[in-house]
Homo-oligomer: A and B are copies of this chain.
Amino acid sequence: MATPLLKSGQDPASQADEPTSPVARFGPDAALAMDAGVDLAPWQIAYQTAGTLNAARSNAVLVCHALTGDQHFASTHPVTGKGGWWDRLVGPGKPVDTDRYFVICANVVGSCMGTTGPASLNPGTGRAYGLDFPLVTIRDMVRGQAMLLDRLGIKDLFLCIGGSMGGMQVLQWAASYPERVFAAMPIATGARHSAQNIAFHEVGRQAILADPNWHGGRYLDVGTRPAKGLGVARMGAHITYLSEPALHRKFGRRLQDRDAPTFSFDADFQIESYLRHQGITFVERFDANAYLYLTRAMDYFDLAADHGGVLANAFRGTRTRFCIVSFTSDWLFPTADSRAIVHALNAAAAPVAFVEVESDKGHDAFLLDEPAMISAAKGFIAAAARERGL
């Protein structure tokens, strides 16, 4: 029903027989109760696993992916051919050790890599949902993951871990299902999206909506894709994932394969060429409506607002142990956002470690080879494993 990758003009339904990962399907008896007030059914969730579930079923780890991530955290991506997006942190002998833990990562509800989202077939109309798909929240994503774990016979998680939008899911897991999360590690994230972050997302959405090939969200019906709008959205977002020092170090004002500016609107500077490439490659693997939905889910996220305006209330009585990680040069989710989480956990008397990693790589540092992050994860997870008796 949902599509691993949508190609222009192709009926989404026709791709159902090309699964790139296992899929759990849920019928009308197992609708997904969404915050928008809709019971979504049928629906499905695509996932990947690595490692082996132990006999006690006590070694499960849930990896939560970021906005444009997917379930291919530790295996080759079916579209890009690249390795797993978190193979620096997850794998044999890595902090999330697939020799010791059973690791699951599921494509979130509203996305486009096999889980039901706006590009999926709407059984009520026989066409893709488009904007008829209900708005998705971080809580809906987590509900969907919980139903997947139920299906897999996993009662509780040894660890829930993720960065950025993945970190929001980790926080939501700890708040919604405290008894199911032994240890939680939200990285480079916040308990709510700031006005500036909402602003950047809104610009990206408007870029998509401005593309005439978007057709009011019905582009799949007419065989087009708003590739230019989505490309512009990605280019703008990509700047926010990096940092000024990282951009300066990587590109500076260096010219692209030339000695002098061309006095034209060509990509004279390497940074321009790089950004255009980011835009072009992104649209090959991502659905524009899914981008609208997932950015909106992040904008709506405000864990304190869901708990009487007091973030600590989200965590009262929890027995989950936390490790919070931020990066000094992350200006999308600055350290202050992580500190607010730490303060709330302190107020809720929850066990919490906090690591601010010195890095000039910006928000994307959580995806990169950051030794201090990797050793923090290794230490926290090993200690939690001992406490868990693993």
- With beta carbons under 8 angstroms apart, the residue of B193, B235, B247, B263 that contacts A206 is B235
Say yes or no for A272: interface residue by CB 8 A criterion. Answer: yes
Within 8 A of B (CB), among A161-185: none
Q: Count residues of chain A with CB under 8 A from any CB of chain B.
A: 58
**A235 and B203 contacting across the interface, CB-CB below 8 Å:** yes
Q: Which residues of B contact A265 (CB under 8 A)?
A: 131, 205, 209, 292, 296
**A198 and B134 contacting across the interface, CB-CB below 8 Å:** no
Contact with B along A301-323 (1 / 0, CB 8 A): 01001000000000000000000
CA distance A239 to B198 in the complex (A): 10
**A244 and B196 contacting across the interface, CB-CB below 8 Å:** yes
CA distance A302 to B255 in the complex (A): 13
Asked whether A272 and B202 contact (CB < 8 A) given A195-B252, A196-B239, the answer is yes
Say yes or no for A192: interface residue by CB 8 A criterion. Answer: yes
Say yes or no for A378: interface residue by CB 8 A criterion. Answer: no
Say yes or no for A212: interface residue by CB 8 A criterion. Answer: yes
Say yes or no for A33: interface residue by CB 8 A criterion. Answer: no
Say yes or no for A354: interface residue by CB 8 A criterion. Answer: no
Q: Which residues of B contact A242 (CB under 8 A)?
A: 196
**A198 and B228 contacting across the interface, CB-CB below 8 Å:** no
Contact with B along A120-152 (1 / 0, CB 8 A): 000000000001001100000000000000000
CA distance A231 to B232 in the complex (A): 13
CA distance A267 to B299 in the complex (A): 12
Say yes or no for A279: interface residue by CB 8 A criterion. Answer: yes
Closest to A202 in B: B272
Say yes or no for A15: interface residue by CB 8 A criterion. Answer: no
Within 8 A of B (CB), among A280-332: 292, 296, 299-300, 302, 305, 331
Say yes or no for A269: interface residue by CB 8 A criterion. Answer: yes
- With beta carbons under 8 angstroms apart, the residue of B198, B209, B236, B302 that contacts A203 is B236
**A135 and B263 contacting across the interface, CB-CB below 8 Å:** yes
List 19 interface pairs A-B (beta carbons < 8 Å), by A numbering.
Answer: A194-B253, A195-B248, A195-B251, A195-B269, A196-B239, A196-B242, A198-B253, A198-B269, A199-B247, A202-B275, A203-B235, A205-B265, A207-B232, A209-B265, A210-B232, A244-B334, A253-B305, A261-B300, A268-B299
A contacts, CB < 8 Å to B = 35-37, 131, 134-135, 192-196, 198-200, 202-203, 205-207, 209-212, 228-229, 231-232, 235-236, 239, 242, 244, 247-248, 250-253, 261, 263-265, 267-269, 271-272, 275-276, 279, 292, 296, 299-300, 302, 305, 331, 334
**Contacts beyond the supplied A198-B253, A206-B232: 15 A-B pairs with Cβ under 8 Å:** A134-B263, A195-B253, A196-B242, A198-B269, A199-B247, A199-B272, A200-B239, A202-B267, A202-B275, A203-B235, A206-B235, A210-B232, A244-B331, A253-B302, A331-B331
